[in-house]
Amino acid sequence: MTGFKSPLRSPLFWRLLLSFCAVTLLALFLGGVLTRRFIEYSSAQDIDWPSIAQSATQALEAGGKEGFETWARQERRDGVDVTLYENGQPLREMRLPSSIRAQVPEWLDAERDIQLEPWPGYYVAVQQVTGSDGTVRQMVATSSSRARVSPRMRQQIFLAVQLGLSLLFIAIAGWWVARSVARPVEALRDATRRMAAGEFSTRLGTPWKGKHDELGQLSRDFNGMAERIETLIAHERGVLQDLSHELRSPLARLHLIMDLAQHSASADEAAPHFAHAEREIMRLDRMTGEMLALSRLEAGLPGMEREQVALVPMIAERVDAAALDAQARQVTLRHSGRADIVIQGSPLLLERALDNLISNAIKFSPEGGEILVDAELEQGTAVLRIRDHGPGVPEEELGLMFRPFYRGSNASRAEGHGLGLAIVQRVVQAHGGEIEAKNAEGGGLEIVMRLPLA
């Protein structure tokens, strides 16, 4: 079971987060700009200056200067700054640009209504107004187009624009994110369907496997899985073809033997045929077992347990186990090596590899021959050498010895199925090592295994 991965370490998480943060900031910025433009546009209509002047006079007459001041503060909050002039004097002070303030006396002396826009978005009005008591006063007022709408209305407009923009940008960002996620998922789904239909060469292209997030990693993992499956399927088909080819001859011989036994005149005449059939059956059983072992090794050794293995004691044990076979062929077995060599691996698989190598050396050794099994350390690597004094192997066949079912030109000297060395190679590769075969000086074959130390 894999450990929990924090979302903060996920590239896809950051991509989504940054996308929505960018959308939010964009919505806020454009919302403010568009709200300002909208308010300026919606408030560009003419202000009813006479009505404002009449309201100012009524506030003054009803509440005096204090009532007028209260009314003026309210108007200012709504975007209009107002004062009344009586006998050339303002009833309340208001802020005016210096260029405008210098012209106010001239406008008042003209005793007429004036409406000006000194610069875009800024309005000035001078309005003549007569009170209920017949007093003539003059209103001076200014307004900015941004401020003509009340704060409450401005807030409502801003929220409405912000909501609309947020929905629009979130929809666009959601579409983009969904598209960027859905396209590789759809490609993966299509590739999976093709794989299920038997197209084991199916792979995801560069646009998907090149991404630097979980989807890219998933695409690369899928390609790795597809490549592994294709290799395994090709191997299994090859093994099945080789096995069917190799089983054909012993099965034909077994059929002939059983036919001869069936037509024997007596039990004594049939007995040698049954003995021969038993040997063929045992041969088929060994071949099938080796094929299954090779197939499991090709599949990647699932569940293989590894532990520290002392190499030299294991060599001594396997040499002792092969002593009877060596004595039967009058072959001498010797072993040597450093006792401190320890490797990491599966003892059962390593023993099987050693048994195959020693057995192969015994088969091809002449009577009175000698086999040496030696283990040494070279540059931090365990090196195991098995040397016999047999006929050796032609140079052009050395690279083919580890192929399943391959039997060279010297195969007639010994029985076998051509699987022993193939199994040894798979075991060595599963332990992260290397193996090679070469003809030794003075004759014979030398198998060299290199395995990493524990």
CB neighbour list of residue 395: distance below 8 Å, 6 or more residues apart: 439
Q: Are 202 and 194 spatial neighbours (Cβ–Cβ below 8 Å)?
A: yes
| More confidently predicted of 140 and 253 | 140
pLDDT recorded at residue 128: 93
Spell out the CATH class of 200-299.
Answer: mainly alpha
Q: Express each pLDDT in 60-81 by its tens digit.
A: 999 889 999 999 998 888 778 9
Tell me which H or E stretch contains 182.
helix 151-196
pLDDT recorded at residue 147: 45
- Where in the chain is CATH 3.30.565.10? 307-452
- Where in the chain is CATH 3.30.450? 44-148
Q: Alpha-carbon distance 8 to 12, whole Å?
A: 10
| More confidently predicted of 101 and 198 | 101
**Range with lowest mean pLDDT among 133-147, 223-237, 393-407:** 393-407
CB neighbour list of residue 389: distance below 8 Å, 6 or more residues apart: 365, 366, 369, 370, 371, 442, 443, 444
pLDDT recorded at residue 431: 81
Tell me which H or E stretch contains 55.
helix 49-77
Q: Are 294 and 404 spatial neighbours (Cβ–Cβ below 8 Å)?
A: yes
pLDDT grade for 84, boundaries at 50, 70 and 90: very high
Q: Count the neighbouring beta carbons within 10 Å of the beta carbon of residue 218.
A: 17
Q: Give the largest CA-CA distance in the chain.
A: 155
Region 360-368: mean pLDDT is 85
Q: Alpha-carbon distance 84 to 103, whole Å?
A: 16
Secondary structure string (H, E, C) spanning 235-297: HHHHHHHHHHHHHHHHHHHHHHHHHHHHCCCCHHHHHHHHHHHHHHHHHHHHHHHHHHHHHHH
**Range with lowest mean pLDDT among 42-46, 63-67, 87-91:** 42-46
| More confidently predicted of 283 and 102 | 102
What sign for the dihedral angle of Cα 250, 251, 252, 256? positive
pLDDT recorded at residue 303: 46
Domain 307-452 sits in CATH at 3.30.565.10
* Beta strand spans in 104-258 (E): 114-119, 122-130, 136-144
Look at residue 300 and tell me whether its pLDDT is greater than 60. Answer: no
Counting residues of the chain whose pLDDT is more than 70, the rounded percentage is: 78
The CATH number of 44-148, from 2.60.40, 3.20.20, 3.30.2310, 3.30.450, is 3.30.450
pLDDT grade for 291, boundaries at 50, 70 and 90: low
Chain-wide mean pLDDT for the chain? 79
- Where in the chain is CATH 1.10.287? 200-299
pLDDT recorded at residue 156: 73
Look at residue 45 and tell me whether its pLDDT is greater than 60. Answer: no
Tell me, yes or no, if the pTM score tops 0.85: no
